[in-house]
Amino acid sequence: MSQISIKHKNPLRGELTPPPDKSISHRAVILASLAEGRSVIRNFLYAEDPLSTVGAFRQMGVEIEVRRQNSEHKEEMSPTEILINGNGLSGLKNPEGPIDCGNSGTTMRLLCGVLAGQPFSATLKGDASLSRRPMKRVIGPLAQMGAVFKSDNGNPPLTVTGGQLKPISYKSPVASAQVKSAILLAGLYCDGITSVLEPEKSRDHSERMLRASGADIKIDGLSVSIKGRAVLRPFDLTVPADFSSAAFFIVAGLIVPGSEILLKNVGINPTRTGLLEVLQSMGADIRLENTREVSGEPVADIFVRHSSLTGIEIGGDMVPKSIDEFPILCVASAVAEGKTKITGAKELRVKESDRIAAMAAELSKMGVRTEELEDGLIIGGKEKLGPAAIKSYGDHRIAMSMAIAGLMTDGETIISDTDCINTSFPGFIEILDRLQKS
């Protein structure tokens, strides 16, 4: 079990390119594997979670070649290109043995959608953390479509037996891109139209990529529908930098006095960037530069400068648009003037950890006043935090968020169990050190 030590040294200055987008990397591998022909995925996230998806499709007979190059900064990720010879919707093979999804809930949930349409049974397993995460929200609609699941009361490992699926119109109780994507993927194997209606709009990477691959997909407000039996075509895609990974350095640049950071080539999909809107409402000095489109996704360079933040109330559609950024938003709130109240975020109870409870507990160790709500958190801001011994709960976003919080203390903050950072952001600490030396 590894640990890291964080001390505030200097303002953070300079530029960085965050790691490639994790959500897009997963989905690109899945759709390229189901397409007919050779796809190229450039700037793939070479990290544990997306590699679990690569391993899963290799196990089902898909030919995938990974090519790595040298990076400009040694602490930043090497550019990775992946070549995939897709087997088509009906070309996957029955895997020998269980498919190991590691710590990746995205891998497991989206694979449930793919496996629901296969003429075989397959078992999905994960690490200790993933084995505690509930899968009922994907099992329910996929079972309605005709798939059969065996599990421990909805928890992994899961055995999925596919078959002849029927289309459904599903009203999702939560705004979840993983649930929506699993249903849409299963919908590819139906005769007819499958639709999903969400209470709020979740991230739309799957819809964008399905459409680009030739799927017959329609979007009407909060409803998405897909017509089955399309032949997916191969594609050439460049993955932008991950906004969720950029978020740690966006907040660091805002809260550490004297800091100025330029984050390059960051995806700014409007279903993902609620954090920018929230921080700007709190008084953040954030500027988007060189806005453009890359492979169907909006991209920009993001400039941030130290700012005085003020607490606000956050809820409604801002929550699904910033769900993965909740831990680092809590850190920004902890040093804002006044009180911040976050509601409507019950989904956070079933992430890699209970992120509401985890952030309340760990910020409290640093002297921050917190009050847990069933669906959120109230945080009382203060100018300086106290150094502490911090738990990561094996959750990469908790570990990195609390590392940024450690920059706001006058002492040393020790964070335990930080190997989890490698699931999404290898090189995080090295980049943090470089920006403090610039």
What is the pLDDT confidence band of residue 72, given thresholds at 50, 70 and 90? Answer: low
pLDDT tens for each residue of 237-272: 999 999 999 999 999 999 999 999 999 999 999 999
Given a cut of 60, whether residue 161 has pLDDT beyond it is yes
Same domain, 138 and 149: yes
Among 150, 202, 209, 221, which Cα is nearest to 185's? 209
Residue 321: the pLDDT is: 93
Pair (13, 31) in one structural domain: no
Query: Do 207 and 67 sit in the same domain of this protein?
Result: yes
Confidence category of residue 215, pLDDT binned at 50, 70, 90: very high
Please state, as a whole number, how many other Cβ atoms lie within 10 Å of the Cβ of residue 374: 9
> Strand pairing of 339-342 and 313-314?
parallel
Q: Using 50, 70 and 90 to split pLDDT, how confident is the model at 382?
A: confident
Q: pLDDT over 70 for what percent of the chain?
A: 98
Q: Which of 238, 261, 284 is the last residue of a domain?
A: 238
pLDDT of residue 437: 87
Q: What is the CATH number of the domain that holds 67?
A: 3.65.10.10
Residues 129 and 193 occupy one common structural domain: yes
Question: Both 9 and 67 in a single domain?
Answer: no
pLDDT digits (tens, 9 = 90+) for 265-311: 999 999 999 999 999 999 999 999 999 999 999 999 999 999 999 99
> What's the pLDDT score for residue 350?
83
Residue 357 contacts residue 388 (beta carbons within 8 Å): no
Residue where one domain finishes, among candidates 189, 210, 238: 238
Residue (of 228, 241, 243, 178) closest to 204 by Cα position:
178
Which residue among 220, 238, 256 closes a domain? 238
Q: Range of 227's domain?
A: 22-238
Place of tokens 């497991």: 108
Work out the pLDDT band at 30, boundaries 50, 70, 90: very high
Does residue 225 sit in the same domain as residue 347? no
Residue type, 312: I
Catalytic residues: 324
425-438 tens-digit pLDDT: 999 999 999 999 87
Q: Are residues 371 and 411 in the same domain?
A: yes
> Which tens digit of pLDDT belongs to each residue from 163-211?
999 999 999 999 999 999 999 999 999 999 999 999 999 999 999 999 9
Residues 50 and 152 in one domain: yes
Q: Are residues 90 and 192 in the same domain?
A: yes
Residues 172 and 100 in one domain: yes
**Same domain? 379 vs 280:** yes
Q: Based on the fold, state whether residues 321 and 206 are members of the same structural domain.
A: no
Q: Identify which of 195, 166, 165, 26 has the alpha carbon closest to the alpha carbon of residue 102.
A: 26
| Residue 76 pLDDT greater than 80, yes or no | no
For residue 157, say if its preceding peptide bond is cis, omega within 30 degrees of 0: yes
- Report the number of distinct structural domains present in the chain: 2
Cα separation, 338 vs 346, whole angstroms: 23
